[in-house]
Structure formats: C-alpha cells, structure tokens
Amino acid sequence: MPNPTLKAPLSLDVYANSRKVGTLAELPDHRIAFEYSPEWLQSGFSISPFSLPLKSGVFIPKSYEPFDGLFGVFSDSLPDGWGALLTDRLLRSKGIDPYSLSTLARLSLIGKNGKGLLEYRPSQALKESFHTIDFDELAKECEKILDDQPSKDLDALYGLGGSSGGARPKINTFVDGEEWIIKFRTHYDSTWIGQEEFDYFTCAKSCQIEVPEFRLFPSKTSPGYFGCVRFDRSNQEKIHMVSAGALLETNYRIPNLDYEILLKLTWLLTNDMEEVIRMFRLACFNVFSHNRDDHAKNFSFLYKDGRWRLSPAYDLTWSSSFGGEHATTIHGNGKNPGPVDLQQAASSIGIPSKAAQTIIQKTKANVEKMLKNTLQKHRPH
C-alpha cells in the first residue's frame, strides 16, 4: 500500500460504549469471522439475533457476498453512496488506491465514527472534527464532488459525512447540543428536495408515524435543507441500530423484500404487535406517498433498554426504485399497490381487518391532502 501509515489489519476488535463486544478476523478466502468476547457473553446482548445469537463459538458468514465478507450488522457500519464516494476521493488525494483496501481496513477507517453503537479498534480513522459551517457553501462543494471536480473542502466534507449512509450528500453535525443529519441535493433532485422531505415528515407525523425531530434549515439558494435529529444518539450515548437488510443478511440493492416479510421480521424481533402496527403504518405511508425507494436499508431497528423496537421513520420522499416500482413489494405488488394489497399484508401477520382499514383510510386521506396542497407547487405529479 503506498501510504505506509495505513495498515491492512487481519483482525479488529468490536467495541460498544467501551465494552468489548468481540473480535473480527479475516479468513484466507476473505470471509470475516466473528466471535463474541467472554465479557459480552456474560452481560451483553445479541447484536444481530438471527445470524449472531449470543453464544460462544466462531461465526462465519455463508459467503463473501453480499457484504464483502462481513455479517450484515458490521457492513451497516460502512458508508455507502455518498460516504463511500468521499472516502475513495480522500484516499486518492493521499495517494492510496481505494481498491487496495480490504474490508477490515475500511472498517478500521470508521473507528468510532460509525452510525449506531459499534466501534472498531485499532482505529485508523482519517476523520477530524469540523464545526463552523455554512450550509450553502457545503452544498456547493458537494455538487463539485458529484461533478468530479476538486473541492477545497474535501477534508471537511469527509469529516462531516464520510461515515454516513445513503446516496445523497449529507453531514452529521451538532445543532443546539444534539447530533443532527442534514441532507443536500444530488443532481437528480430538484432544489425543492429539502422542502419536500420536510412536507413528507410533517405528513408522516400526522399519520401517527414516529419521526425524529426535524427542521428545514435556511438557505439563500434553495427553499432550505432538510435535517433531523439522530435517533442512534441520545444525550451523546450511542444506541445500537441495525437495518432490516443486515438482520436478514440480504443486499439492499436487490429488490427481494415484501412488506409481509418486514411485518414478520418486526414481530419476530420485537414480539410486540404495537411495533408491527408501526411498520404497517409506514407501509401505508410509503404506498400512498410514492416513496418507492423503500429498500432494505431504509428500515432499521434499535436495541435500547433491553428490547428491540422499530426505529423512527426516515428517508421519506417521492421516489422510485427499479423500473419505477417499489423496492419492497406489497403482497407481491410493486407496480400499482393499493388498499387491497395493504389489507392482505395486514392479515398475513394478524392485524385485525378493521384496524388495518382505519389506518389505510386515514393515511391515504392525509397523504393525498399533502400531495395536493404542498407538493404540486414544486413537483408535477
């Protein structure tokens, strides 16, 4: 590797709030094995109940794909889309070929800056912290990066968003003492995208969907930047968060999920019908609001106070997936799902028909009002 300071580790320790969770080790075929530490076995919890139950012994992923040799829960710590682009850009600027990096080296770059609870040691994090920021300036620099132009703020952007998930440019930053995610636009987004996500969150809240605190941050060049509080942080404590794709060990880029699977997953993980109904509300909202990029990383679960819950909702916008369809189908229908498919999905997990009907009707009415009143101003539907 050209940079002598960047090592290629063959093993890494996984930590959670200063407690050792276990150890990752690369096998000769590049799959990455995991073993819980004795102390975590005594007083920890399963970080991914279906593939890594809390028991002694070495766990080995079945195959190198889809997570570059990792179990999904660790792959969730790696950036995708925007964060991965920044990482590769920064590595190149330091004379390092991004393709030369092993999966464990990439995790060591995350160190303690990943989303959720897990941290990786020894860390080789390149990140420093950056504070004072002008959002319009940052948005402009993000566009330069997307245009493949040099940016004077590459280090700052990496520091603020290099470990974030998702495709759109974004930063993690403190606002009034709390950690927020603030999102910028990509080329295919209109300048109204921030306002649109704000409208979607407002409507989701009116449909009794739990969302994190959110805001539209002012801009001189657009209606504003959408931001929301990080729900994987609480009083600066880290909270364990796992995506549905990671729990199911499936690639979010492949549209192989159905809401019936997500409802069942929610039931198996939480054993709580209230949580299942929260997932069902989200399904209804996504169907009526045309949030079709509803892939396996756009649903997450949190482990807090000894129990699993569905996380607050996020990434709510007018969007499409492969062929304009839903990434996650509804009772098999990704193309033109509606109330009948949602009823079928509800009954597959035992949500009483009357309760499902009420949720479907209320969500449909609220969403239609929102689309009519607000979105038609800036997006022709």
- Which position has the token pair 């990943």? 114
Give the list of residues 6+ apart from residue 312 with CB closer than 8 angstroms, or none: 210, 211, 212, 231
Q: Can you state the angle between helices 154-161 and 135-146, rounded to 10 degrees?
A: 100
Q: Which does 115 bind (CB under 5 to 8 A by kind): Mg ion, ligand ATP, none?
A: ligand ATP
| Least distance from ligand ATP to the Cβ atom of residue 193, Å | 9
Q: Which does 242 bind (CB under 5 to 8 A by kind): Mg ion, ligand ATP, none?
A: none
The binder of Mg ion chosen from 196, 199, 249, 315 (CB under 5 A): 315
Give dist(CA 170, CA 83) in Å, integer: 8
Does the protein bind Mg ion through residue 76 (CB under 5 A)?
Answer: no
Does the protein bind ligand ATP through residue 315 (CB under 6 A)?
Answer: yes
Give dist(CA 77, CA 54) in Å, integer: 20
- 11 - beta bridge partners? 25
Q: Which does 81 bind (CB under 5 to 8 A by kind): ligand ATP, Mg ion, none?
A: ligand ATP
| Least distance from ligand ATP to the Cβ atom of residue 235, Å | 14
Could you tell me the CA-to-CA distances from 117 to 34, 35, 79, 255 in Å, in that order?
17, 17, 15, 27
Does the protein bind ligand ATP through residue 301 (CB under 6 A)?
Answer: no
CB atoms within 10 A of CB 352: 11
The binder of ligand ATP chosen from 89, 106, 168, 240 (CB under 6 A): 168
Site size toward ligand ATP (CB under 6 A) is: 19
Helix spans in 164-209 (H): 193-206
Could you tell me the CA-to-CA distances from 77 to 15, 56, 91, 142 in Å, in that order?
12, 23, 18, 22
Q: Which does 240 bind (CB under 5 to 8 A by kind): Mg ion, ligand ATP, none?
A: none
The binder of Mg ion chosen from 69, 166, 227, 255 (CB under 5 A): 166
**246, 48 contact by CB (below 8 A):** yes
| Least distance from ligand ATP to the Cβ atom of residue 300, Å | 6
Binding mask 202-241 toward ligand ATP (x if CB under 6 A, else -) reads ----------x---------------x-xxx---------
Instruction: Name the site residues for ligand ATP (rule: CB under 6 A).
Output: 81, 115, 164-168, 181, 212, 228, 230-232, 293, 297-298, 300, 314-315
